[in-house]
Chains A and B, each alone.
Chain A
Amino acid sequence: MAAPASSSASSSKLERLSATSRTKDLTDSDSEDMVLVAAHQEAENAKYIKSVTSPLQDLLSTQTWQVQEETLEAVLPYLEGNPNDFDLNTFGIPKLQRIQHVRFLNNALQKYPAAFMAIDASRPWFLYWSLQGLTALGQDISDYDERVVYTFAASQHPSGGFGGGHGQLPHLAATYAALLSLVIVGTPEAYASVNRSTMYSFLGRMKQADGGFTMALNGEEDIRGAFCALVALSLLNLPLELPPDAPVREQGLTSFLDGLTDWISRCQTFEGGISASPGQEAHGAYAFCGLGCLSILGSPKDTINKHLDVPSLLHWLSSRQCAPEGGFNGRTNKLVDGCYSHWVGGCWPLVEAAVGKGIANRAALGRYILSAAQFKKGGLIDKPGKRPDAYHSCYNLAGLSAMQHEHKYDETKSGEVGKEGLGGPYHWQQDGLYGGEKVWDDDDMLNRVHPVFIVPWGKAEACRGYFEEQGSL
């Protein structure tokens, strides 16, 4: 938690500057100018922070209040000053540290020491987060193509679906991460490496009588299951009719979609957000899964308005933006965390397509990501004081990309791909760049990301197109 205070950071900068000036390049007056510029920038930032801070604060001290105070103490120096000494963009905000993030994410794909054994069941995620992050940063990842295919070949289960690694049971989270990684690679070899017919049968075993999906056989049932299953059914163009051996056929279900939208509606809580399963607490990551489901089932305008109470959803979603931090938290009275830049930030394009208006404060989120969520040596983080990882890197970048670009949903569904079945998510169109208040320059731009699948623009459509050509099973 201990973050350097802005004053000590600027004095260390002063020392560094005067040390440099003693060498050769900088004259004394140059360094004084730079210090003045930095001081001016800090004053500007302080003014901004004040402008987004509510004057209303309760003083009743509880544990929630204490950790919130500690968080502010850690974050504010980064919003106000520049403790990492990053180069600033024309808005006086740290530039996107592209080269360092690329290096970090390339490293995240390399071999891990034994201390990382705990990630044995999540290796597919490390591939997905790294590949998605790298492509968002504009990197060509084709050098990895073959290795991605081989790596997942070992974790595809003979009974269908993917596990975390060789011999691990098939699991919908691993399946989701594996499929999206193969979609990012996007070669015929990558597509062909997926065994669609065993996948179909695996998905059939996950469907539950109440309409939802479990993550694994006899595993937990939650809205991640429904989302991951729909992603697989849609990308692979699989039939919506349940396989003949699906256990829930005994309860009279015949389709993957039976009872599903009702089940999703039941996940919307009294706060307006969406929970892991009915009755639980509204949470940003589950909200994205729920909205993702509805955006695969049809046009967001139709499905979100039909199956959710939109006013309370908007109320809850907009409440996720922390002030003055600008980043999002995942639940009421929780702390800002860079990963919600996507989980909550990624809800906005889907919801805005449903209501037809821009509602998120994109500039404030961009400011949090660039100022407070970039780690000095590369990679992105939860909040200042934390270490970077592939997960926070991927989802901070996905959130920033979602803020920078505009997409719109083509209600006429004029494209060639996605005419039938779960074809809803293949009708998004580019709609230029965000034109409102922003804090990023051209140099800070990320590549456009598909709002439902969180893969590079065009890749999901290519995959679906490939499997439409393959025809039915």
Chain B
Amino acid sequence: MAPKKFYHDDPAWSDVEPIPQDDGGPYPLAAIAYTDEYREAMSYLRAVMAKNEASQRVLALTEHIISMNPAHYTVWLYRAKTLSALSVPLSEEIAWLNPTALRHIKNYQIWHHRQTIINQLGSPKGESDFITSMLAQDSKNYHVWSYRQWLVQRFNIYTDEELAWTESMIDEDIRNNSAWNHRFFLVFGKSKDAIPSQEIIDRELDYAKSAIRKAPQNQSPWNYLRGAVRHVKLPVSTLKQFALEFADTEKPDEVFSSHALDVLADVYAEEKGMEEQARRALELLAERYDPIRKQYWNYRMGLLGEGRVV
């Protein structure tokens, strides 16, 4: 553990009058019994913020506070402001940030700070590898995936390499929905209305289908499949033959995927004269294959009569 650091006896800080903490009246709620070290460092931070100071010693102070409490957005934001005022080489900041981020992976501030720095640096170099090492610890971390998406967008990394990496994440855990979401983002998300070529659409549908064949109850590729079909404005009946591989309303004892029944219910609801088949699929879901969502399947059955489709 690092030795304790104080400022009141440090000549480099003798010109600063610390601003002591006010917890809120004589009987504050949920107050914290800070350590003396933290309490004093925060008092000096309040003082330098009040004078809007940007200096090397401020950087050192923020680093000290972050080492004690990384979940402190004020310190991060003030550090970013100071860095930008001082024109410090930003690559040094990233080098310092890496081990800090690995220690505190579930932290909003670190990722936002990183985004600010990389944005100013203007290069994503090394970031992919860093993210991969973070995901090795926590493969569904929301902040990490969000940061990756920002990176792709900021530096236009809609590349085959990025797609191959995403595929490797799905290969590792075919149920990792964050990885599926990233794939959708890469392939379909570049702009809201852009529809990819037929070749790419076919590739994507085939990719999701082969994942479903490995584990037919995995909802991630089913959502991907339906999302892709909806995005490129194909009818849901595009998926009919595929869904029939896993379920058939005529063979209620041979159902291998509730999600296939769900697709079939939508397909039949749109198909003329097939309302009874749609109802049958929804009944099988409500009564047998997905009973916890009974109310939802019943709601969908109610829509059938109204001639509406889901």
In the bound complex, CA of A52 to CA of B112 (Å): 42
Decide if A167 touches B49 in the complex (CB within 8 Å). Answer: yes
Decide if A167 touches B142 in the complex (CB within 8 Å). Answer: no
Contact with A along B161-189 (1 / 0, CB 8 A): 00000000000111111101100110011
B6-14, B29-37, B121-129, B194-202: which lies at the A interface? Answer: B29-37
Decide if B178 touches A281 in the complex (CB within 8 Å). Answer: yes
B219 partner, pick from A119, A333, A364, beta carbons under 8 A? A333
Interfacial chain A residues near B73, Cβ < 8 Å = 121, 164, 168-169, 171, 215-216, 219
Interfacial chain A residues near B32, Cβ < 8 Å = 111-114, 116-117, 119-120, 123
In the bound complex, CA of A216 to CA of B293 (Å): 39
A332 partner, pick from B34, B145, B216, B223, beta carbons under 8 A? B223
Given A111-B33, A167-B46 in contact, is the A58-B173 Cβ separation under 8 Å?
no
Contact with B along A155-196 (1 / 0, CB 8 A): 100000001111111010000000000000000000000000
In the bound complex, CA of A108 to CA of B112 (Å): 29
Q: Which chain A residue shows the least CB distance to B30?
A: A126
In the bound complex, CA of A130 to CA of B287 (Å): 40
Does B87 belong to the interface (CB within 8 Å)? no
A63 partner, pick from B68, B115, B173, B178, beta carbons under 8 A? B173
The SS class assigned to the B binding surface is helix
In the bound complex, CA of A135 to CA of B233 (Å): 48
Q: Which of B191-234 contact A (CB under 8 A)?
A: 192, 214-220, 223-224, 226-228, 230-231
Does A445 belong to the interface (CB within 8 Å)? no
In the bound complex, CA of A150 to CA of B153 (Å): 44
Decide if B69 touches A117 in the complex (CB within 8 Å). Answer: yes
Contact with A along B298-310 (1 / 0, CB 8 A): 0100100000011
Given A152-B24, A219-B112, A280-B181 in contact, is the A112-B30 Cβ separation under 8 Å?
yes
Contact with B along A268-311 (1 / 0, CB 8 A): 01111000110111110000000000000000000000000001
Contact with B along A449-461 (1 / 0, CB 8 A): 0000000000000
In the bound complex, CA of A460 to CA of B228 (Å): 41
In the bound complex, CA of A153 to CA of B22 (Å): 10
Interfacial chain A residues near B174, Cβ < 8 Å = 60, 62
Q: Which of A333-349 contact B (CB under 8 A)?
A: 333-334
Q: Which chain B residue shows the least CB distance to A312?
A: B230
In the bound complex, CA of A130 to CA of B30 (Å): 10
- Most chain A CB within 10 A, of B28, B30, B112, is at B30
In the bound complex, CA of A364 to CA of B42 (Å): 47
Q: Which chain B residue shows the least CB distance to A326?
A: B292
A2-10, A29-37, A87-95, A354-362: which lies at the B interface? Answer: A354-362
Decide if A121 touches B71 in the complex (CB within 8 Å). Answer: yes
In the bound complex, CA of A116 to CA of B69 (Å): 10
In the bound complex, CA of A65 to CA of B174 (Å): 10
Given A111-B33, A167-B49 in contact, is the A217-B77 Cβ separation under 8 Å?
yes
In the bound complex, CA of A114 to CA of B34 (Å): 5
B290 partner, pick from A281, A323, A364, beta carbons under 8 A? A323
Q: Which chain A residue shows the least CB distance to B298?
A: A359
- Most chain A CB within 10 A, of B73, B112, B214, B227, is at B73
In the bound complex, CA of A270 to CA of B181 (Å): 8
- Most chain A CB within 10 A, of B29, B45, B115, B295, is at B29
Q: Which chain A residue shows the least CB distance to B171?
A: A62
A154 partner, pick from B23, B68, B226, B299, beta carbons under 8 A? B23
Min CB distance B249 to A, Å, is: 16
Decide if A276 touches B142 in the complex (CB within 8 Å). Answer: yes
B29 partner, pick from A147, A216, A277, beta carbons under 8 A? A147
In the bound complex, CA of A112 to CA of B290 (Å): 45
A270 partner, pick from B19, B176, B230, beta carbons under 8 A? B230
Question: How many residues on A have C-beta within 8 angstroms of the other chain's C-beta atoms?
Answer: 90
Given A151-B25, A270-B228 in contact, is the A54-B30 Cβ separation under 8 Å?
no
Decide if A58 touches B215 in the complex (CB within 8 Å). Answer: yes
In the bound complex, CA of A332 to CA of B223 (Å): 9
Decide if B77 touches A58 in the complex (CB within 8 Å). Answer: no
Decide if A122 touches B289 in the complex (CB within 8 Å). Answer: no
In the bound complex, CA of A320 to CA of B96 (Å): 39
In the bound complex, CA of A385 to CA of B105 (Å): 22
Min CB distance B258 to A, Å, is: 6
Contact with A along B136-170 (1 / 0, CB 8 A): 00011010011001000100000000000000000
Min CB distance B132 to A, Å, is: 16
B294 partner, pick from A64, A283, A361, beta carbons under 8 A? A361
- A-B contacts counted at CB < 8 A amount to 251
A153 partner, pick from B24, B142, B302, beta carbons under 8 A? B24
In the bound complex, CA of A126 to CA of B28 (Å): 12
Does A419 belong to the interface (CB within 8 Å)? no
In the bound complex, CA of A153 to CA of B25 (Å): 8
Interfacial chain A residues near B23, Cβ < 8 Å = 151, 154, 165-166
Decide if B220 touches A332 in the complex (CB within 8 Å). Answer: yes
Interfacial chain B residues near A355, Cβ < 8 Å = 299
Does A413 belong to the interface (CB within 8 Å)? no
Decide if B33 touches A333 in the complex (CB within 8 Å). Answer: no
Interfacial chain B residues near A283, Cβ < 8 Å = 142
Given A55-B289, A151-B28, A281-B181 in contact, is the A333-B71 Cβ separation under 8 Å?
no
Q: Which of A81-131 contact B (CB under 8 A)?
A: 108-114, 116-123, 126-127, 130
Interfacial chain B residues near A269, Cβ < 8 Å = 181, 184, 227
Q: Which chain B residue shows the least CB distance to A168?
A: B74
In the bound complex, CA of A147 to CA of B296 (Å): 45
Interfacial chain A residues near B231, Cβ < 8 Å = 270
B42 partner, pick from A60, A167, A318, A357, beta carbons under 8 A? A167
Q: Which chain A residue shows the least CB distance to B260?
A: A56
B177 partner, pick from A220, A266, A331, A360, beta carbons under 8 A? A331
Does B100 belong to the interface (CB within 8 Å)? no
Does B72 belong to the interface (CB within 8 Å)? yes
Given A217-B77, A279-B153 in contact, is the A112-B31 Cβ separation under 8 Å?
yes
By a beta-carbon cutoff of 8 Å, the part of chain B in contact with chain A is 19, 21-35, 38, 42, 45-46, 49-50, 68-74, 77-78, 80-81, 108, 111-112, 115-116, 139-140, 142, 145-146, 149, 153, 172-178, 180-181, 184-185, 188-189, 192, 214-220, 223-224, 226-228, 230-231, 255-258, 262, 288-296, 299, 302, 309-310
Task: Return 16 A-B CB contacts under 8 Å, by A number.
Answer: A52-B292, A56-B217, A62-B176, A114-B34, A120-B32, A121-B69, A147-B28, A150-B26, A164-B72, A269-B184, A270-B184, A271-B223, A280-B145, A281-B142, A334-B177, A358-B295
Given A166-B23, A220-B111; 9 other pairs, CB 8 A cutoff: A51-B291, A62-B175, A63-B176, A117-B34, A121-B69, A150-B28, A167-B42, A269-B184, A357-B302
- The 7 tightest CB contacts between A and B, nearest first, are A270-B227, A150-B25, A151-B24, A64-B175, A154-B24, A167-B46, A323-B292
